[in-house]
Structure 1
Amino acid sequence: MSTEFQGKHVTVAGLGVSGVPAAKVLHGLGARVTVVNDGADERARAQAAELEALGVTVRLGDADTLPEGTDLIVTAPGWKPTKPLFTAAAEAGVPVWGDVELAWRLRGENAAPWLAVTGTNGKTTTVRMLASILRAAGLRTAAVGNIGVSLLDAVTGEQEYDVLAVELSSYQLHWAPSLRAHSAAVLNLAPDHLDWHGSMDAYAADKGSVYEGNQVACVYNVADKATEDLVREADVEEGCRAIGFTLGAPAPSQLGVVDGILVDRAFVENRQKNAQELAEVADVNPPAPHNIANALAAAALARAYGVPAAAVRDGLRAFTPDAHRIAHVADVDGVAYVDDSKATNTHAAEASLAAYGSVVWIAGGLAKGATFDELVAGAAGRLRGVVLIGADRALIAEALARHAPEVPVVDLDRTDTGAMLQAVQEARRLARPGDTVLLAPACASMDMFANYNQRGDAFAQAVRELGA
């Protein structure tokens, strides 16, 4: 048990999924813990009562002032670096860690190495694929981090692991300066969360920090040069290799696809001449291009850890994607209906649209400052029609008028949850046998729904009513 925190005054910034476990762990390690939280709603009060019963001090509704005598701040990952609390900490010379940094420092001796995954899109799917592959190799593992399983629980709990598959957001990486993974992958880079990071350069730098100190492999996307640039800039351990993944035929030190087979030319003897078959494209569920890329990234990390080829195949076959990620809902009158409600930004929607030949696209919601010209211009050739919903649908309508003026557009002037049923009915009217009606909104959901899960459920329910 670490004695580093005995008697230290640690301020935990934010309750919730990371703050409450951090406060409990630190209190258990002998720290004097003060929790500060912006909100004071019913949930926050209940969490505060739970912590106060343990002897933790909780300050609700006042998270801007640095508690007197603070030695360290442990923050929830989503708190912006510009908050007054952090400005005060910088002036006082108080370090700020995230829960990932805390977890990293609390690992015991002989701790399980981390295989880390970040990127704008595809993180959760890739980490879950990776965990499935590692399990198929007989390894004790878990998918942890931004995926919902607490890293703190993983490193301080009684369960022992051989290796961890770790999903990391840009927020988490920003607050984790000491993290040094066994191997890591940046799947892709596209503008996202720029209001938090302040600029694309700052966002990319936080993503790229996942490569710092890597021991065996820095995995990058051959189709996304920015990810390779981050590898070049990283300070890694001697002997760590740059490993690319591509949907084309792989060069040496890459994984790729040849004649419907996922192949490895990185972790084989004489990679100039040899390649190892790992799995078939048909083993990837679903076999959409961006999901094949996810599978290749997961395979690269697993192979970096020494997993045999057969485990890659078996792990991919055993993997079941989460709901609302290019999920086939039903076929009605020869038209496929696909729920990709998780496509909450333009980069994700672009990948989703590219998976189908002829699409009736249901899009719209909260744009989060995004622009849609590039997305629409790239997809125009495969659009049978478009149905627009949500608060910022006009932005997509304007891009369609500029780049796909011949595509029929139905603009639903409503933001109630019942709009989804009408959207699906309108999409059915536009679709022809062989088409795909695709919910890939390219926007966040909170204008109409609690979250993207509820939006996807509404779509699936509307499709079921079509087929009734």
Structure 2
Amino acid sequence: MTVSTNPYRGARIVVTGGGRSGTSAAAVLQRCGASVQIVDRDPRVLTTSLAQQGITYAGDLAELPEGVDLVVTSPGWSPRQPLLVDAAGKGVPVVGEVEIAWMLRDPAVPWLAVTGTNGKTTTVGMLTAMLAAAGRTVAEVGNVGPPVIDAAVDRQTGYDVLSVELSSFQLHWAPSVRPASGALLNLAADHLDWHGSAAAYAADKARIFNAQGISVYNADDAGVCAEVAKLPTTARTVGFTLGVPDAGQLGVDGDELIDRTYAAAGGREVLASVGDVSPPGPHNVANALAAAALARTVGVSAADVREGLRRYLPGAHRNVLVASERRDGYVVDFVNDSKATNVHAAAASLVAYDHVVWIAGGLLKGASVDDVRPLIERALPFLRGVVLIGRDRGVIADALRRHAPEIPLVEVETTDDRAMRTAVDLAHELACDAGSRVNATVTVLLAPAAASMDMFADYAQRGDRFAEAARQVAEDS
């Protein structure tokens, strides 16, 4: 590994958390000449490979050892975690793996970065496909992909651009990162238990903007626009909207995605059609516009934007049709959107279908009845029934009984391995009842609006269990 700058030689560094980003950062820092210790509950994080590099295991510590120069923390560690509080009290800087990647990066390789409450992974996937269609050598890294640092210090592959997904946690611990272009997709209350307040959450998200670069923003989102208004008047901004775009924006006119920012002579250029966007739904059209805006900042043509959208394959657990059953006069579709782990994401998913039986519930991460109410009001025209699972299902149930008492509602009290099959069976019954009345397709939609860890290892396992149950129900009917 060769890097243009190396501020870490000789430094004593503690890495907290032995996950993918932590172990990648530890290995890179050790190769940079630092002395690295890993703090984690599980000593097995110190693999043979890491030990052979000279990295040591410090244990599960609540206080920082003497003489430490820097802490590199897992993005999931809250600033209120005792070890990080102790580090702050001792004046020891705390950063994340993304910050280390930025400090060691090749400055000639631009970072195109994406954040937002929802849609990050889809947008980054679309962006990567557009860049690849344009012949760029691109690495897709970050929040749900390989650690950013692995690509940032790679001088062998010859990446000429990084497509980077960043969570609010990662941005919080990356104070120096200033991407060449950064997009803020949307803002809604999320992870308030970690950030402490909606204002702190929004401020961390807004770190994606770079006053010296290009800031891409959702012109339809009031919270995002409020953060953009805080930028210097000299900042270069590009908005995207689901409406007809003004000059300096990307948007939608009829069935066409339109660019009025990078088109020649301030005119308009057709980038793609709405039909080129998959998965369907207004929120994914917005994601496509954001990806296109970022791609255009590095010279990707309209033709390559369209080709990238056509090549893009949606990730698992994101509005994926997993089973379908044709009945007498109607169809029941089963759609897995287990990645909808908060209220805002679930709302976007619900409005993509005409008739929905909604499976929801889990860990609401501090969301309240009042937070759920706007979701229900937005989804009400499409709801034909609701099945609730998980620890915090009562919050959603209370909101439904208060604001939509006419919607059939069933709660699944069991939390064992049978819970998802029970939920799918109940949702199927509600869907068949609705289908016989509307004579149209009814979608059984898993869009939990909540995290999964009360019942499942992660959202992927939750989605897999739903897909298995859906296929069994469709086959048995």
TM range (shorter): over 0.9
- Paired with 2:338 and 2:134, the residues of 1 have a C-alpha distance of 32
Q: Is the 8 A contact 1:48 1:58 kept in 2?
A: no
**1:59-458 paired onto structure 2 within 5 Å:** 59-62=58-61, 64-108=62-106, 110-157=107-154, 158-215=156-213, 217-235=214-232, 240-271=235-266, 274-333=267-326, 334-371=331-368, 372-431=372-431, 432=435, 433-458=440-465
Give the drift of 1:414: 1.3
| Structure 2 stretches lacking a partner, 5+ long | none
My pick for the range that moved more, 446-455 or 173-182, is 446-455
What does the per-residue CA deviation read over 1:426-464, in whole Å, with 9 as the maximum and x for residues that have no partner? 222222042211111111122222211111112111221
Give the drift of 1:222: 1.4
Q: Which of 10, 20, 36 does residue 33 from structure 1 map onto?
A: 36
Q: Is the 8 A contact 2:26 2:55 kept in 1?
A: yes
- Determine the structure 2 residue equivalent to 1:56: 55
SS at match of 1:410: strand
Letter in 1 for 2:291: A
Give the drift of 1:82: 2.0
Q: Is the 8 A contact 1:208 1:234 kept in 2?
A: no
Give the drift of 1:22: 1.1
What does the per-residue CA deviation read over 1:142-165, in whole Å, with 9 as the maximum and x for residues that have no partner? 111112211111012221111111
- Paired with 2:460 and 2:136, the residues of 1 have a C-alpha distance of 31
Letter in 2 for 1:252: A
What does the per-residue CA deviation read over 1:6-55, in whole Å, with 9 as the maximum and x for residues that have no partner? 21212222211111111111111111222222x13xxx425255433322
Letter in 2 for 1:171: F
Give the drift of 1:467: 2.6
Give 4+ residue runs of structure 1 displaced > 6 Å after superposition.
none
- Paired with 2:365 and 2:467, the residues of 1 have a C-alpha distance of 25
Letter in 2 for 1:263: I
SS at match of 1:116: strand
- Paired with 1:393 and 1:81, the residues of 2 have a C-alpha distance of 29
Closer/same/farther in 2, CA of residues 87 and 457 from structure 1, 3 Å limit: closer
- Paired with 2:91 and 2:362, the residues of 1 have a C-alpha distance of 42
- Paired with 1:95 and 1:52, the residues of 2 have a C-alpha distance of 25
Give the drift of 1:117: 0.3
Q: Is the 8 A contact 1:278 1:312 kept in 2?
A: yes
Residues matched between the structures, number = 457
What does the per-residue CA deviation read over 1:194-238, in whole Å, with 9 as the maximum and x for residues that have no partner? 1111111111111101113442x21111111211221221359x5
| Structure 1 stretches lacking a partner, 5+ long | none
Give the drift of 1:86: 2.8
Percent of residue pairs identical: 54
Q: Is the 8 A contact 2:360 2:447 kept in 1?
A: yes
My pick for the range that moved more, 75-84 or 140-149, is 75-84
SS at match of 1:342: coil
Give the drift of 1:424: 1.7
Letter in 2 for 1:200: A
Give the drift of 1:90: 2.8
What does the per-residue CA deviation read over 1:265-307, in whole Å, with 9 as the maximum and x for residues that have no partner? 1112333xx2100001111111211111110100010011111
- Paired with 1:46 and 1:145, the residues of 2 have a C-alpha distance of 20
Closer/same/farther in 2, CA of residues 46 and 117 from structure 1, 3 Å limit: closer
- Paired with 2:39 and 2:333, the residues of 1 have a C-alpha distance of 49
- Paired with 2:412 and 2:86, the residues of 1 have a C-alpha distance of 47
Give the drift of 1:395: 1.5
What does the per-residue CA deviation read over 1:299-336, in whole Å, with 9 as the maximum and x for residues that have no partner? 01001111100000000000000111011123212122
- Paired with 1:90 and 1:219, the residues of 2 have a C-alpha distance of 33
SS at match of 1:88: helix
1:14 aligns with 2:17: yes
Letter in 1 for 2:348: A
- Paired with 2:413 and 2:466, the residues of 1 have a C-alpha distance of 17
What does the per-residue CA deviation read over 1:105-124, in whole Å, with 9 as the maximum and x for residues that have no partner? 1013x531000100011101
RMSD: 1.6
Q: Is the 8 A contact 2:124 2:140 kept in 1?
A: yes
SS at match of 2:95: strand
Closer/same/farther in 2, CA of residues 446 and 89 from structure 1, 3 Å limit: closer
SS at match of 2:46: helix
Closer/same/farther in 2, CA of residues 311 and 173 from structure 1, 3 Å limit: same
Q: Is the 8 A contact 1:385 1:407 kept in 2?
A: yes
SS at match of 2:264: coil
What does the per-residue CA deviation read over 1:96-145, in whole Å, with 9 as the maximum and x for residues that have no partner? 2211110001013x531000100011101100110000000011101111
- Paired with 2:67 and 2:148, the residues of 1 have a C-alpha distance of 28
Q: Is the 8 A contact 1:209 1:234 kept in 2?
A: no
SS at match of 1:362: strand
